[in-house]
Amino acid sequence: MLPASPTLDELLERLYVVSLPMRVRFRGIDVREVALIEGPCGWGEFGAFVEYGAAEAAHWLASGIEAAYRPSPAPVRDRIPINATVPAVDAARVPGVLARFPGARTAKVKVAEPGQTLADDVARVEAVRALVPVVRVDANGGWTVEEAASAARALTASGPLEYLEQPCATVPELAELRRLVDVPVAADESIRKASDPLRVVRERAADIAVVKVAPLGGVSRLLDVAAQIDIPIVVSSALDSAVGMTRGLLAAGCLPTLQHACGLGTGGLFVDDVADVAPPVDGFLPVGPVAPDPARLTGLAAAPARRDWWIERVRACYPLLGSLSVN
């Protein structure tokens, strides 16, 4: 069992489940549900997406417990450059989305959305490129190698891309694609959803590693993985609330070097959050803890049936914590 962990009863006693309405549909959802954990060292977040099974979600619970029950490491920088995040919206909606990321000079654009076409992706990227100088795209593993190669050509016809994030689903596909295109390839799911998160580096399947705190089991585990990766690191969020976002900012703040803007500005996608969060200043967000507003914990509280669902999920994940490699 993780050191300094609460008992299950202690964990459930200080668990708050909230529903955060979103400005635009993202990852197929309009409302983001997360469970917040209050502990002696602050607040943590358990926000594994609802489709994840207990074995995968347990890492997210470990991350929330780490935040609430363990002292945090000291960062080496106090602000983090962030990218704007553009969901798979129509090109006409791009200016409104980007307006919520003041000063951002990098934008990550979602592509390969089910039901959309490559032409839709190109139009969205072109609309972003007209307003932001550095553009990266994220396909969430949605392309075959052939589709990814074609998309890379189409999306760079009028300007460069910083990188293609998880263009294909598997490590062998990423390695093959790297040999076919000039655009750098970044790995996300091949790290955070893998039993061996370092395989993608050993097989030279990526130029950049995108890492997320909660799926890896916490800040300490992320920093341990990052220390074993010899390619640049981008810390990203998992559609975190204001509480969860502080852990990503802390992790980015603790990295020895940080060459790229991080995907830690997704708070702008929420209509309301559990705490007031300052907008980016000149494209940067500060490193520091956040405590939820008690009134918002009440006002954004999930329906009783959904709270019960999350409680049962914690019960399912809790016995798995002892088997996780997150120390």
Residue stretches of the annotated binding site for Mg(2+): 138, 165, 188
Helix boundaries (H) for 130-275: 145-155, 171-178, 189-192, 199-202, 213-216, 219-227, 242-254
One of 79, 129, 136, 212 is an active-site residue; which one? 212
Distance, in Å, from the CA atom of 161 to the CA atom of 89, rounded to the nearest integer, reads: 19
| Closest to 291 measured CA to CA, from 243, 247, 245, 237 | 243
Distance, in Å, from the CA atom of 56 to the CA atom of 121, rounded to the nearest integer, reads: 30
Residue 108 falls in the annotated catalytic set: no
One of 108, 110, 129, 136 is an active-site residue; which one? 110
Distance, in Å, from the CA atom of 177 to the CA atom of 181, rounded to the nearest integer, reads: 6
Q: Does an H or E element contain 43, and which?
A: strand 42-46
Positions of E strands within 194-310: 208-212, 233-236, 284-286
Distance, in Å, from the CA atom of 248 to the CA atom of 287, rounded to the nearest integer, reads: 9
Residue 193 falls in the annotated catalytic set: no
Token digits for 281?
A: 């200043």
Residues noted as catalytic = 110, 212
